[in-house]
């Protein structure tokens, strides 16, 4: 029996279908990667599994229990880290630990927090605030916070997409080694085929929206531990990468999609005459702007 | 001192002292010319200084109810402002939170707020006096407090509301995933995330309270900078009007700077 199961899940926002008839079945201890273009509902899919949004139709179950809302049994690592900027690294993790394990004594709690900070190699930075950390360090804190609440399933929503290539590679290796040591069920959402191939047992491409759905899954039978340098010359790896990339491109690379969102600009009174000159007229609350973002 | 340091020092001297002094000089010249030509009743800068001297060199003297050192008057005004301001914050912050949190609450009260917001303190004050008419002699003070509070709370209300609405959904999602209670979410996520906005509101509110106090004192005749100003106008001692204006401006500026310092402490990334 599958651990996490999605049956005919559909979700639309304001009449635009985002996901249509998504079926997904993940076994316990499995590492599944979902790859797809930006803006095609990957994050929506993650929010649905996390319980942050409700599907219009279809059902989601975690070990047979329907998912009705968010909860600490599904640990979500957010794309933009979501660390609280006014708390230090240790305090951010402590907040989560205290919320999920309220019965711990203060000493147990501190030990618990320290253990996970050490796991992501940030012991030296535990008293710093997120603004004093690099992007990679922030995401490691975010991962530590999620691991510390000991979720039954780990949801990684493009966790590395905002990082530079080197940091990204380092963190991929770290995630890989953490996963190898405790074999938690993981759903990784990514736009990088290489990342998916490096980490996952199974890769599932997401088709293009509107009304995106999951394509047939591709088992990745590369032996572990996977070494990124060796993989580059592995014929099996090359074949899989070509297959998945082609499939993704086949969904319609020439298509572009655009999302329009409403921006309400703050009403600002000029107070400081030293402010640098900007080459645009001052804007006011009365101007509600629309911003259109074109993405492939 | 090496030459680079010296250059830097000179530039700071020019920027912070020399250039502002030029501005001051221009105003003094225009003031002197005006008092000598078309505005005969306007006292010249030197006359103003001579007439103001006893109030400035003995700033805390008390010679009578309406004849006191200028800082003593300022102190009275500041006390009244502080009370009215605290009332404004205590009422304004929760209202701001409700406006930010509840769309229904916003729909109910926002039109009202937008209508009440531009009402001048001069219009509120008579209503305040009527409201507290039963207080007898104290009606003036309570009326003034009412006016300060109601006029100065709007920036706090609106900035807090904007701040609450601007709390990133991601922060709230963290709370939802951890299943934090409503109270815990408020104290650990909403409140700290809103603080920078709240303090911007607090600073603007303080500026308005100081603006209102002068008007309130003028109408109620309470001892304070504003009361002094109005009394000296009625006694035809115009030099003291100018003294009062300068003191009001300087105090307002200092208050604003102090609040900016506090505000910048609460800026989070």
What does the pLDDT read at residue B147?
92
| CB A100, CB A73: distance < 8 Å | no
Residue A291, both tokens: 């911003």
Each residue's pLDDT tens digit, A91-144:
999 999 999 999 999 999 999 999 989 888 888 988 999 888 888 889 889 988
- Which position has the higher pLDDT, A292 or B74? B74
- Checking if the pLDDT of A263 tops 90, the result is no
Q: Is the dihedral of CA B30, B31, B36, B38 positive or negative?
A: positive
Q: What whole-number distance in Å separates Cα of residue B15 and Cα of residue A221? A: 69
- Which one, of B132, B122, B141, B121, lies nearest residue B80 by Cα? B141
Q: What are the structural domain ranges in chain B?
A: 3-42, 57-268
pLDDT in tens, B38-90: 888 888 888 888 888 878 877 777 777 777 888 888 999 999 999 999 999 99
The yes-or-no verdict on residue B33 having pLDDT over 50 is yes
Min mean pLDDT across A178-192, B94-108, B144-158 is at: A178-192
- Which has more pLDDT, A278 or A102? A102
Examine the pLDDT at B255 and tell me if it is beyond 90. Answer: yes
Q: Which residues of B touch A266 (CB under 8 A)?
A: 162
Cβ contacts of B195 on chain A, cutoff 8 Å? 86
More confident residue, B265 or B173: B173
pLDDT tens digit sequence for A31-82: 999 988 877 788 888 889 999 889 999 889 998 889 988 888 898 888 888 8
Distance CA B170, CA A92 (A): 14
pLDDT digits (tens, 9 = 90+) for B177-228: 888 998 999 999 999 999 989 998 999 999 999 999 888 888 888 888 888 8
CB of B186 within 8 Å of a chain A CB? The answer is no
Whether residue A226 has pLDDT greater than 90: no
Cβ of residue B170 closer than 8 Å to a chain A Cβ = yes
Mean pLDDT of chain B: 88
- How far is it, in rounded angstroms, from Cα A281 to Cα A279? 7
CA-wise closest residue to A50 among A25, A72, A29, A26? A72
Predicted local confidence at residue B205, as pLDDT = 94
- Record the tokens describing residue B185, joined without a space: 């979410």
Cα dihedral A104, A107, A109, A112, rounded to 10, equals -120
Classify B86 as helix, strand or coil: helix
Residue pair A5/A61 in contact (Cβ under 8 Å)? The answer is: yes
Query: For residue B209, how far is the Cα from the chain centroid?
Result: 4
pLDDT at B61: 78
B188 close contact with A: CB closer than 8 A: yes
Q: How many residues does chain B have?
A: 269
CB count in 10 Å sphere of residue B120: 11
Distance (Å, whole) CA B230 – CA A153: 72
Q: Is the pLDDT of residue A293 over 60?
A: no
Q: What pLDDT was estimated at residue B228?
A: 87
- pTM for this structure? 0.76
| Per-residue confidence (pLDDT) for residue B45, from 0 to 100 | 87
How long a stretch of residues is chain A? 296
Taking the Cβ of residue B184 and every Cβ of chain A, the question of whether any pair is shorter than 8 Å is answered with yes
Which CATH number is A4-73+151-254 given? Answer: 3.40.50.300
Q: What is the CATH number of domain B57-268?
A: 1.10.3720.10
Confidence category of residue B269, pLDDT binned at 50, 70, 90: very low
Q: In 3-state terms, what secondary structure has residue A21?
A: strand
Adjacent-strand bridge partners of A77: A156
Average pLDDT for B99-110 = 92
A192 to chain B nearest CA, in Å? 23
pLDDT the model gives residue A282:
52
Average pLDDT over residues B225-248: 89
Query: What is the token pair recorded at A79?
Result: 């794309």
* Chain-chain contact of B184 with A99 (C-beta, under 8 angstroms): yes
pLDDT of residue B219: 84
Q: Hey, is A292 helix, strand or coil? A: strand
pLDDT of residue B152: 93
Residue A83: closest C-alpha in chain B: B171
Q: What mean pLDDT is predicted for residues B9-28?
A: 90
**Both structure tokens of B20:** 């502002």
Task: Look over chain A and give the mean of its residue pLDDT values, rounded to a whole number.
Answer: 82
Q: How many CB pairs under 8 A join A and B?
A: 55
The band of B153, judged by pLDDT with boundaries at 50, 70 and 90, is very high
Q: CB–CB of A84 and B170 under 8 A?
A: no
Q: Closest approach of chain B CAs to the CA of A234, in angstroms? A: 39
B170, closest residue in chain A (CA to CA): A82
Cβ atoms within 10 Å of A173's Cβ, excluding its own:
16
CB atoms within 10 A of CB B73: 25
Q: What is the pLDDT of residues B136-152, one digit of tens each?
A: 788 888 999 999 999 99
> Could you identify the residue written with the tokens 């975690």?
A62
Q: Which pair of tokens denotes residue A292? A: 């259109």
């Amino acid at each position: 029996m599958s651990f996490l199961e999605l049956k005919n899940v559909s979700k639309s926002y304001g009449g635009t279908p985002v996901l249509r008839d998504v079926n997904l079945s993940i076994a316990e201890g499995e590492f599944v990667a979902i790859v797809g273009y930006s803006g095609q509902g990957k994050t929506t899919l993650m929010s649905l599994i996390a319980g942050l949004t409700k599907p219009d139709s279809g059902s989601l179950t975690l070990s047979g229990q329907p998912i009705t809302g968010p909860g600490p049994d599904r640990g979500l690592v957010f794309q933009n880290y979501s660390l609280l900027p006014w708390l230090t690294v240790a305090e951010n993790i402590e907040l989560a630990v205290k919320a999920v394990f309220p019965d711990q004594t203060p000493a147990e709690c501190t030990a618990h927090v320290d253990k996970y900070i050490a796991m992501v190699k940030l012991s030296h930075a535990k008293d710093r605030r997120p603004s004093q950390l690099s992007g990679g360090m922030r995401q490691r804190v975010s991962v530590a916070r999620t691991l510390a609440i000991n979720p039954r399933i780990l949801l990684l929503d493009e966790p590395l997409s905002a990082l530079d290539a080197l940091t990204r590679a380092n963190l991929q290796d770290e995630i890989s080694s953490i996963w190898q040591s405790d074999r938690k069920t993981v759903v990784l959402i990514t736009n990088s085929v290489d990342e998916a191939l490096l980490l996952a047992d199974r890769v599932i491409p997401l088709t293009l929206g509107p009304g995106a759905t999951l394509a047939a899954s591709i088992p990745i039978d590369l032996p572990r531990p996977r070494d990124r340098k060796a993989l580059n010359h592995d014929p099996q790896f090359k074949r899989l990468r070509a297959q998945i990339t082609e499939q993704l491109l086949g969904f319609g690379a020439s298509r572009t999609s655009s999302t329009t969102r409403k921006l309400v600009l703050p009403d600002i009174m000029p107070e400081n005459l030293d402010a640098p000159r900007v080459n645009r007229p001052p804007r006011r609350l009365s101007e509600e702007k629309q911003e259109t973002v074109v993405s492939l | 001192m090496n030459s680079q340091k010296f250059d830097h020092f000179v530039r700071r001297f020019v920027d912070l002292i020399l250039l502002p002094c030029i501005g001051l000089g221009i105003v003094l010249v225009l003031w002197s010319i005006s008092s000598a030509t078309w505005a005969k009743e306007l006292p010249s800068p030197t006359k103003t200084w001579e007439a103001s001297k006893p109030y400035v060199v003995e700033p805390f003297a008390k010679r009578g109810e309406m004849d006191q050192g200028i800082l003593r008057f300022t102190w009275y005004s500041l006390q009244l402002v502080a009370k009215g301001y605290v009332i404004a914050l205590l009422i304004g912050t929760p209202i701001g939170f409700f406006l930010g949190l509840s769309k229904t609450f916003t729909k109910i009260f926002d039109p009202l707020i937008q209508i009440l917001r531009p009402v001048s303190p001069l219009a509120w004050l008579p209503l305040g006096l009527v409201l507290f008419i039963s207080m007898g002699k104290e009606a003036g003070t309570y009326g003034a407090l009412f006016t300060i509070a109601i006029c100065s709370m709007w920036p706090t209300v609106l900035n807090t509301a904007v701040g609450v609405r601007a709390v990133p959904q991601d922060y709230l999602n963290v709370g939802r995933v951890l299943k934090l209670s409503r109270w815990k979410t408020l104290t650990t996520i909403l409140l700290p995330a809103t603080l920078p906005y709240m303090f911007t509101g607090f600073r603007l509110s303080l500026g308005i309270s100081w603006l209102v106090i002068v008007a309130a004192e003028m109408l109620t005749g309470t001892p304070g900078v504003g009361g002094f100003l109005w009394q000296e106008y009625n006694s035809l001692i115009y030099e003291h009007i100018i003294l009062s204006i300068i003191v009001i401006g300087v105090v307002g500026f200092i208050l604003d700077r102090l609040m900016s310092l506090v505000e910048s402490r609460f800026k989070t990334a």
